[in-house]
Structure 1
């Protein structure tokens, strides 16, 4: 597996983002994640976006983080917000999400971020299991979906 840094507007990132949006729609019936993201949100040193490629150079998994500081959506100074963690269905169960998560945590730590935060939902039990088994704990809700009952937020000190 080859994990590469790319821009969020890279064609492979766009393709996988479309796939994750379709999955969100299937699970929640709401058209996908409405959180506004811009490619520059993930530009180093204020973020990064990663894609894992298989042995045939096909994009199979993604994840990114973007800097967040104290704001009116509930973030705190020094936050790194995890976004667009996704593994295509055919590659699930192989530890790819865990590898990308570890790489993102290390990158955010190296960039001086002090806490990784994420928002997921009640209809994503695989994500909840990954994060809780990786040391994430429930935290105060933040972000676009902070007022939604199905929203769950987690944090881990880096």
Structure 2
């Protein structure tokens, strides 16, 4: 079985991640029709800055780097220990991703398990997340890992 450990991101890793996550999140929001393309990356950066005012040291946030047994980076994750809608005892997974070159070898499931354990160790009783409908592989991973749909938005494009 593939094993992944998690640790706090370093400041350098955090800075690189902030650029990548803002671009990815902005693209997802634009593709979903929620935001206009113009200014989307800055909007994403601004939202992240509000949630992470002290960067990787922000209280009640787990900003994590996943590493393999050799200590080599395999992915990243961001968990808020306080749910954004105030649901008691439920943490929220804002981001999780395996490095592209390392995908397809079971690291996604192993990273998710390590993040879940870190969240449990931090005192949360549940972990919730959002996933965009076009991300079929993530939906499959979450479903097979025991996650249930609690809300769902649907759209038909004409």
SS in 2 for 1:68: coil
Q: Gaps (5+ residues) in structure 2? A: 31-36
Choose the corresponding residue for 2:139, options 128, 146, 154: 128
Aligned to 1:113: 124
The structure where helix makes up a greater share of residues is 2
Q: CA RMSD in A?
A: 3.4
Summarize the Cα distance change of 1:99–1:14 in structure 2 as closer, same or farther, 3 Å threshold: farther
**Is the radius of gyration larger for structure 1 or structure 2?**
2
Q: Gaps (5+ residues) in structure 1? A: 142-147, 151-158
The structure where strand makes up a greater share of residues is 1
SS in 1 for 2:81: strand
Count of residues in correspondence between the two structures: 140
Once the two structures are superposed, the pairs formed by residues 6-155 of structure 1 within 5 Å of their partners are: 6-7=8-9, 10-25=11-26, 29=30, 30=37, 31=40, 34=44, 35-36=47-48, 37-38=51-52, 40=54, 43=57, 46-53=60-67, 59-69=73-83, 74-140=85-151
Structure 2 length as normaliser, TM-score? 0.67
SS in 1 for 2:104: coil
Deviation at 1:88, TM superposition (A): 2.0
Deviation at 1:48, TM superposition (A): 2.0
